Amino acid sequence: MTFRISRSPAAALGVAAVVLLAASACSTGEGDLANEEPSAPQAEVTITPEDGASEIRPDTPIVVSATDGTITDVQVEQSVAEGQGDSGMTGTLNKDKTEWVSDWTLKPGSEVTVTAVAENEAGEETEVISDFTTKPAVEGQRLEVVSVTPAADEEVGVGMPIIVDFDLPVENKAQVEAAMEVTSEKPAQGAWNWVSDQQAVFRPEKYWEPDQRIDVNLHLAGVAASEGVYGVENREFSFRVGREQITTIDEDEHHMVVERDGEVVKEFPVSLGMATTEKYTTTSGTHITMEFQTNYRMSNDTLGVSPDSPEYYEEFVAYAVRISNSGEFLHTADWNYQLGEANTSHGCVNMSTADSQWYYENSLLGDPVDITGTTRELEWNNGWGFWQRSWDDWVANSATGEADDTAEPGTPGSPHFEE
């Protein structure tokens, strides 16, 4: 059993059946009874959902309440389809230890047993058991996670976002956010945003502290993503933030600097976008390394330029690191003889073969790349341009509207159904 002290007061909920274990006392006679102190009242325990309830909403919270005593133990068992095993539940106990509320939602289509124990002032225990079932998720209305980024056990840079893609649109974004728990070894404030109805993104206020583990627990089983649509499984994974590496690129100076843990480790001459049109202008702002490729095809047909156009080009480059979804890469450009002297590219950051190879081999997914000096700003939703949003705007655009302390368990808000 896990008890937590709530970040916000637990809500008072409905009444269920009360079961008491009668206490017995022995007496040797009337004289003894006269001298005996009144016995402490037996603790009373209530559980909702009540014993025997069937097909309740899986996002209904379990609430255990005690009077004339304090809660000492709560166990929750969920038996689901064959092969899926049992699943427990953590909960939050109030400061008086008189109310326990489940932290997360229940698995759809499960048989649930809640066993609660409370103790009175004399140390006598009352145990109550409630058995009930949850409503199953209907075929075609089961929210599932399609992909998560970064991958489990991956080592990433300090600017790495956490990205969760769903198979169905999410309407109840606040409840889904509240079900997605991020914990870090080093303290941070973080929050979720939504790029679309099917993609949620988490980032901290500032870059992750380097050299630490991040745990992501998606408590999605039983969460109502929209009317009649429920999450059907939980998912958890961890990744590791490595060293801090930050790259800065000055468009005016045609110069690139790589710092690692605060020390300059490399400097490179580069060439940025020629800026004759917006699409050939490199974007300024905080980019994040998104993808690493070798022998990669580069062509402006991805921007809608026809092979018949005099502007059309196609090149295969030895090394390429993507930093946006508008076609921007740091990549090999052996044909460019003006590295460090002029901006002549089609919007990418051109580098020599040796320099681009070093950068390719010494970078991680999630490394920040700050570009300054151009007339075009990176959009917050262009690739992983999430750091382009101020922290205040990021929190304001989360569905819960609250920041999460990732050093503590739990999340802002509640994943449970509210009338």
- Residues with a catalytic annotation lie at 331, 348
Cβ burial, residue 350 (10 Å; 0-12/13-18/19+)? buried
Q: State the sign of the Cα–Cα–Cα–Cα dihedral 89, 193, 322, 341.
A: negative
Per DSSP, the three-state class of 318 is strand
Contact present, 236 and 216 (Cβ < 8 Å):
yes
Rounded-to-integer distance, Cα 248 and Cα 323, Å: 13
Q: Residue 356 phi/psi, 5° resolution?
A: -70, -35
Rounded-to-integer distance, Cα 54 and Cα 132, Å: 6
DSSP 194-252: EEETTEEEEEESSPPPSSEEEEEEE--TT-EEETTEEE---EEEEEEE---EEEEEETT
Contact present, 71 and 97 (Cβ < 8 Å):
yes
Which residues neighbour 135 within 8 Å (Cβ) at sequence distance 6 or greater? 55, 56, 57, 58, 108, 109
Instruction: Say which DSSP state 52 is in.
Output: T
Rounded-to-integer distance, Cα 351 and Cα 260, Å: 20
